[in-house]
Structure 1
């Protein structure tokens, strides 16, 4: 296990250097007039134009002041050192499915933005359309990424690094550490403790999970894998395998556990209606439950609640206390331009704003995200000085890449529907799994 430097030391270590840099480096606060506007970064008459498409919340337009300030400063510093470049910012907002579909069309027609922020679930769709970062990365740069994250960023067919991941999350158990000294290691323990705490403390329920369309990703893949089963094969297509033999039996057992929690009054059946982090945060704020099965990405919202300091994060508990299997995902930059000069500039830009160790630490601290590079974790811990930060980073560091093959979405939809049918009592676990399998076979 790595020893992580605290954020307090991060701030002390960098305070003096940043003060000096602010006096010497063009583009830092107070040195020159800012060249950063919401839509254009740089001088309008600069001869080289780079088009950049970030997520709104991960951009310098973010409503979050800390993120906005950190990225504005980083972009301003870089653009003053590259006066011949201007960056046109095309922020992604709206329905993700529509955005991805349009991006596929644009990329196929060579009209996509030069560099675009992409989520791990869409990596497979763009491997053949994106350009490798390898010519601009050292072997040391590559080795500095958490191994599971480097695997996810790499095209499985060519072995080239096609993505640079800026955020990472995994899934596990959020729990009230003031009530639970040691988190449960098994789902059986979780059920017992959740029921007891609900009765003893007057909670509305004992356990909550976002049971909407992402439930396979959030919990079910981990539960099934921990027992030696698979929902999808470990191949480039994410071929479904959950409908037969041991895989079927294990998935049925996992779904049965969730139904038992509903029948016992520990978990509400309406979890199938919820899919957003805000749905968890609002319930944490109201003090409705002591346990949440969810992602590390919920940390920022949970911390901000009145009792946020009472919550901690632990690995995903499994049936029979099996060793936890952790999966990770996150957002990355993908490069679409075929212009070598722009590719080099883009890589340098990303290193200064999101990807370099210090840039990643600054961005992680501002946004509340776990760094994806080992050096950022080991030297410049980017979170608040709290044991929670280390548990989030440790969870990510142990996680494997999430499946992202072409069959993923079809399987995820079928499994989510099976979960919904079981939790609502509309079908037995056996019926739900068999129906999901028939649906997948028909669609494929």
Structure 2
């Protein structure tokens, strides 16, 4: 276990009664005593005690044990989501509409507008101070606020996409699409498989690629939330960005298998195996590379801002996770808010090095003042969140379908883009 995690866990331990750590109260899928009179059902991602990384799993176990120790009479039941986040979120929304959702859950920021519009979330406003809310980045604050001005979730982590490279193979950071293609082809000549990126049926495929569209000033939807990416100048920019990825595959700068990739872990594995020297990934992968690479290999890797058609036309996607309450029981809503505050707002950011959504945390937590995190902070200045429009999930779905057609050469770019736009527009009409 590294020193940072040990320090964090020690700090948590010091805030609790000694008895709280006398034994691990996590048994199976529950945290807390079996005879607790109150239970909170929390549906979660791998950001918890069931994380595949044993260090993170231990860290989260300590945090959850500390949480139940601080809230006598409560037990937390953990429900794990599968890796198919889009499907999981859609299922949870339907459960919420029918009154069968968990008490509390992780809601992906890109579908939060759908949950807010459906009226299934409970207000967190009574449980967070104005000073805390004011510290949220503007796009975060806007994302969690409803039309009535109430806070309906706590968006605790954010992220962004960058371009990772092995400096031994690619010394200079590519700043443009042309630079990227040349660098990828140079790596192929040295026995690598070229640049890797998500291209399968996966939300990451859409979000990672969108920076190429946004960097040109492209808009997915208008102020009313209606799709506009297939019209006029937006369509030109959209097609141009799609053709960038298409050309990477057709030129051999990217392997054909990108059309099936839908998991960031593939990129870490490729880096560890030495089969790729260039990939589009998330900021969180920098800390993961520290785990999968030997120190001498890690020293060869760095990251830079995502390239654009020109070095001045650049953007990056900013996403992240929220915690929200579905239960109508005031005690459970408050407990859900407490969970967001005590486990995720700060401690989990530090544990996983997931970028905080509060500006003050970048000075509060030493880890976020590192050179790497300072660089991520700078990149966030040109970042863009997915539009808070209910039609966005269907736009993303159609982009994923479109990308599959384009990257495999099954259809021309123009035809695939027009089909995606037609389907997204039809979905908007059904809302």
TM-score by length of 1: 0.84
Offset, 1:397: 6.2
Q: 1:414 maps to which residue?
A: 398
Alignment of 1:12-31 (within 5 A): 21=14, 25-29=17-21
Offset, 1:54: 1.7
Offset, 1:267: 1.5
- Residues 233 and 309 of structure 1: CA distance in aligned 2, closer, same or farther (over 3 Å): farther
Q: 1:49 maps to which residue?
A: 39
Q: 2:351 aligns with which of 366, 369, 383?
A: 366
Q: Using the alignment, how far apart are the partners of 1:247 and 1:294 within structure 2?
A: 25
Q: Using the alignment, how far apart are the partners of 2:103 and 2:9 within structure 1?
A: 34
Q: 1:333 maps to which residue?
A: 323
Q: 1:91 aligns with which of 70, 80, 99?
A: 80
Question: Could you give the per-residue CA deviations for residues 34-79 of structure 1, whole angstroms, max 9, x where no partner exists?
Answer: 4332333333333333222222x22223343222222222222232
Contact 2:153 2:322 in 1 (8 A): yes
Q: Using the alignment, how far apart are the partners of 2:99 and 2:3 within structure 1?
A: 46
Q: 1:149 maps to which residue?
A: 140
- Residues 434 and 169 of structure 1: CA distance in aligned 2, closer, same or farther (over 3 Å): same
Alignment of 1:222-371 (within 5 A): 222-235=211-224, 237=225, 239-303=226-290, 304-306=292-294, 307-355=297-345, 357=346, 359=347, 363-371=348-356
Q: Using the alignment, how far apart are the partners of 1:33 and 1:58 within structure 2?
A: 22
* 3-state secondary structure, aligned to 1:121: coil
Q: Using the alignment, how far apart are the partners of 2:388 and 2:265 within structure 1?
A: 25
- Residues 270 and 85 of structure 1: CA distance in aligned 2, closer, same or farther (over 3 Å): closer
Q: 1:203 maps to which residue?
A: 191
Q: Using the alignment, how far apart are the partners of 2:398 and 2:240 within structure 1?
A: 17
Question: Could you give the per-residue CA deviations for residues 176-218 of structure 1, whole angstroms, max 9, x where no partner exists?
Answer: 234445412221222233333433xx13333221111346533
Q: 1:4 maps to which residue?
A: none
Alignment of 1:67-106 (within 5 A): 67-93=56-82, 95-106=84-95
Q: Using the alignment, how far apart are the partners of 1:421 and 1:74 within structure 2?
A: 44
1:184 maps onto 2:171 in alignment: no
Alignment gaps of 5+ in structure 2 = none
Contact 2:194 2:255 in 1 (8 A): no
Q: 2:389 maps to which residue?
A: 405
Offset, 1:170: 1.4
Q: 1:380 aligns with which of 344, 365, 370?
A: 365
* 3-state secondary structure, aligned to 1:276: coil
Offset, 1:341: 2.9
Contact 1:146 1:374 in 2 (8 A): yes
Q: 1:160 aligns with which of 150, 155, 176?
A: 150
Q: Using the alignment, how far apart are the partners of 2:198 and 2:84 within structure 1?
A: 19
Q: Using the alignment, how far apart are the partners of 1:26 and 1:47 within structure 2?
A: 23
1:129 maps onto 2:120 in alignment: yes
Q: Using the alignment, how far apart are the partners of 1:112 and 1:225 within structure 2?
A: 35
* 3-state secondary structure, aligned to 2:219: coil
* 3-state secondary structure, aligned to 1:320: coil
| Aligned length in residues | 421
* 3-state secondary structure, aligned to 1:222: helix
TM-score by length of 2: 0.86
Question: Could you give the per-residue CA deviations for residues 311-350 of structure 1, whole angstroms, max 9, x where no partner exists?
Answer: 2222211102234222211221111122333333332233
Question: Could you give the per-residue CA deviations for residues 112-146 of structure 1, whole angstroms, max 9, x where no partner exists?
Answer: 22211111122122112101211111111112333
Contact 1:26 1:80 in 2 (8 A): no
Question: Could you give the per-residue CA deviations for residues 267-325 of structure 1, whole angstroms, max 9, x where no partner exists?
Answer: 22331111111222222222223221232243344332343332222221110223422
Contact 2:30 2:77 in 1 (8 A): yes
Q: Using the alignment, how far apart are the partners of 2:36 and 2:246 within structure 1?
A: 61
Q: Using the alignment, how far apart are the partners of 1:335 and 1:97 within structure 2?
A: 19
Offset, 1:96: 3.8
Contact 1:209 1:271 in 2 (8 A): yes
- Residues 110 and 367 of structure 1: CA distance in aligned 2, closer, same or farther (over 3 Å): same
Q: Using the alignment, how far apart are the partners of 1:396 and 1:38 within structure 2?
A: 39
Alignment gaps of 5+ in structure 1 = 1-6
Offset, 1:250: 1.1
Q: Using the alignment, how far apart are the partners of 2:289 and 2:129 within structure 1?
A: 38
Question: Could you give the per-residue CA deviations for residues 424-444 of structure 1, whole angstroms, max 9, x where no partner exists?
Answer: 333332233223333434555
